Amino acid sequence: MADVAPAPKKAASVKAAPVKATPTAKAVKPAPVVATVAVAAAKAAPKSAAKGKAVAAVLKAAPAPIVVAAAPAPVAAAEPAKVKAKAVPAGRGKLTPVVAEAPHPAKHKPVEVPLKSSTSRHADQTGQTKLFVLDTNVLMHDPSSLFRFEEHDVYLPMMTLEELDNHKKGMTEVARNARQVSRTLDGLVSNTDDDAIEKGIPLSKLGNKDAKGRLFFQTRLQSADLPVGLPVGKADNQILAVVRSLESEQAGRPVVLVSKDINMRIKARALGLPAEDYFNDHVLEDTDLLYSGIVQLPDDFWNKHGKDMESWQENKNGQSATFYRVTGPFVPSMLVNQFIFLEPKNGETPFYGQVKQITGKTAVLQTLRDFSHNKNNVWGVTARNREQNFALNLLMNPECDFVTLLGQAGTGKTLLALAAGLAQVLETKLYNEIIVTRVTVPVGEDIGFLPGTEEEKMSPWMGAFDDNLEVLNKSDSDGGEWGRAATQDLIRSRIKIKSLNFMRGRTFVNKFLIIDEAQNLTPKQVKTLVTRAGPGTKILCLGNIAQIDTPYLTEGSSGLTYVVDRFKGWAHSGHVTLARGERSRLADHASEVL
């Protein structure tokens, strides 16, 4: 996870032999993904006339074969032209270089891009407004989903309202969302007469200008012929009957069922009804497009951008840094607080920097502090690779209030965050204490209620922090058993473990707040947590979007993906995607092959 070196004159120092970095595996170009959906034809002839009619009915109800064209393979960043660098900025040779490594592409599991139904695609081409029939789980997943369908109309079956009523009790997130939807519907329905409900209520009534469609309720019993044998009393089947009835009543108008329930969509497709997932809450359609916080400069960067370059030195936070003001065509593609690097292949000194300011085609670049050197260790921890060095520059920067770290298992997210927190709480006294929290979503079966106080209930969920504290608390034998015990008690007294359930209304002042496993948070929960920050508080969000344990959350709609995308480019936030595992060769191999 990170090299651990002994910290001078410190009780909680660590001694460990430096581990040699393993060479990076050569990146493999991903093959194009081809999604094909087909309906197989029945080959055997029916033995009787009755069976023949049944088969004909099933084939008639089945949807037409849909063939989706092959999605293009993700295009890797173009390799910079191999031009020999001529202009080298002054002062670069004096920097301590980080060990040059090949770029590590972020690893993501393949994500299915949500596809629209054929009815939706045809309506988009012809410019028709659609009528979306919403399933209950869409409203309970996103209470604002009513206003996310732009100029299209929304239809709510009576069974959807009945299920909302059944789920409104309790303190869970689902119950809160159900109550919020009910309040929204009450605001839309109030001060309207019966004719207005029949003709449709404008969704822009409450101030949502983007919603230009109308809201329709099921005001009368609608009967439709469903296949014999489907239970009539089941809520899903009643909603499917409403969709079938609307299709026959409003001939020529595209009617689409929207549901988060996969089985519901499968049943609708089997009955020949258009159905699709609700993907308006997806931040990105493909997580490979997610902001990584790091960009590699082309080899001829200094040739094209070093013509009228200015350089100067400043002393910030007790550290001297070199600044460069450059102008050129590559600058508009940069973002503030983005890390940049250039590792020439001709043996020249590599350059590692951070974008501090952008004005048009002019940018101010700042050199980084080298945390891979033992003299700059953070609580005995040094960076093992380029991305860890970038992460420590963010974690140790007091001007950076919000930091997000993404990475697969074993990349050192928790260890780096905890080491930076201990150094700034116990050494520099920049923050009062460390607060650790995480979502209590079990990977397997739940073990039930846990006894004890809030801290004792949360302790089984904090095994990752206990493991990392054990590494950071290894001290010299000079202090003896009493010294080690006293150090551990001191550190434990400055770390508080809190539950997410009691965060509403709190304000943290001068705290170092670590949110672990943030990929299991919804965008609304992330907003609740980040808005708890008071003066002098730093918030860290750690997670791996390939390990989401919450139902109804995907890589594209996770709260962690949401904040990474929304905070990019802000002067007081930063993001780094850690791509190289440093836990062990066994963990690295398991991440690749399992």
179-183, 429-433, 546-550: which has the minimum mean pLDDT? 546-550
Q: What kind of fold does domain 387-440+452-591 have according to CATH?
A: Rossmann fold (3.40.50)
8 Å CB contact between 483 and 11: yes
Residue 385 token pair = 């690779």
| pLDDT bracket for residue 474 (50, 70, 90) | low
* Residue 369 in this model has a pLDDT that exceeds 60: yes
Kindly tell me if the per-residue pLDDT of 154 is higher than 80: yes
445 CB-near residues (< 8 Å, 6+ apart): none
Dihedrals phi, psi of 494, to nearest 5 degrees: -100, 5
pTM, entire model: 0.65
Q: Decide if 269 contacts 63 (C-beta within 8 A).
A: yes
Lowest-confidence segment of 80-94, 325-339, 395-409, 548-562 by average pLDDT: 80-94
Q: Which pLDDT score, from 0 to 100, does residue 297 have?
A: 92
Average pLDDT of the segment spanning 1-6: 52
Distance in angstroms (rounded) separating the CA atoms of residues 413 and 541: 10
**262-270 and 235-249 are packed helices; what angle lies between their axes, rounded to 10 degrees?**
40
- Mean model confidence pLDDT for the chain: 77
Would you say 24 and 101 are in contact if contact means Cβ atoms under 8 Å apart?
yes
CATH 3.40.50.300 domain range(s) in the chain: 387-440+452-591
**What's the pLDDT at 442?**
53
H/E/C letters for each residue in 475-499?
A: CCHHHHHHHHHHHHHHHHHCEEECC
Higher pLDDT pick, 35 / 131: 131
Query: 232 near 238, Cβ under 8 Å?
Result: yes
> 283 pLDDT band (50/70/90 cuts)?
low
CA atoms within 13 A on the CB side of 207: 2
Lowest mean pLDDT among 95-104, 249-258, 411-420: 95-104
In the sheet with 573-578, reading across from the earlier edge strand, the strands are 495-497, 433-438, 511-516, 538-543, 402-407, 573-578
pLDDT, greater one: 463 or 82? 463
Q: How far is CA 274 from CA 254, 255, 271, 531, 572, in A?
A: 9, 7, 9, 40, 45
Find the range with the poorest average confidence among 63-72, 421-430, 461-470, 493-502: 63-72
Nearest to 173, CA basis, from 414, 439, 363: 439
How many H-runs (helices) and E-runs (strands) does the chain carry?
Answer: 17, 22
In whole angstroms, what is the distance from residue 128 CA to residue 155 CA?
Answer: 16
What's the pLDDT tens digit per position in 47-84?
444 444 443 443 344 444 444 344 444 433 434 343 34
* Residue, of 27 and 361, whose pLDDT is higher: 361
Q: Which of the pair, 100 or 394, is modelled with greater confidence?
A: 394
Among 137, 213, 149, which residue's Cα sits nearest to residue 181? 137
Domain with CATH 3.40.50.1010 in the chain: 118-277
Q: How many CA atoms lie within 13 A of 56 on its CB side?
A: 7
Band the pLDDT of 423: cuts 50, 70, 90. very high
pLDDT of residue 288: 66
Specify the higher pLDDT residue, 389 or 483: 389
Residue 421 burial (10 A CB sphere; 0-12, 13-18, 19+): buried
pLDDT of residue 408: 84
For 589, list phi and psi in degrees, rounded to 5: -65, -40
CATH class (in words) of the domain with range 118-277: alpha beta
The CA distance from 161 to 217, in Å, is 9
State the average pLDDT over residues 347-369. Answer: 92
Among 145-154, 183-192, 432-441, whose mean pLDDT is lowest? 432-441
Who wins on pLDDT, 591 or 511?
A: 511
Place of tokens 């995907």: 554
Radius of gyration of the chain (CA): 29
Q: Is the pLDDT of residue 482 over 80?
A: no
CA–CA distance, 426 with 264 (Å, rounded to integer): 54
Buried b (16+ CB within 10 A) or exposed e, 551-577: ebbbbbbbbbbbbbeebbeeeebbbbb
pLDDT band at 257 (very low <50, low <70, confident <90, very high): very high
How far is 112 from 58, CA to CA, in rounded Å?
A: 28
Neighbour-count burial of 329, counting CB atoms closer than 10 A to its CB (0-12 exposed, 13-18 middle, 19+ buried)? exposed
pLDDT tens digits, residue range 505-549?
788 999 999 998 899 888 888 888 899 899 999 999 999 988 887
What's the maximum distance between 2 C-alpha atoms anywhere in the chain?
92
Q: Are 353 and 341 in contact (CB under 8 A)?
A: yes
Position 242 pLDDT exceeds 60 = yes
For 289, other C-beta atoms within 10 Å of its C-beta total 12
- The backbone torsions φ and ψ at residue 449, rounded to the nearest 5 degrees and listed phi first, read -70, 145
Q: Per DSSP, which regions of 303-414 are E strands? A: 310-316, 319-327, 339-342, 351-359, 362-367, 381-382, 402-407
Residue 459: band (very low, low, confident or very high) from pLDDT cuts 50, 70, 90: low
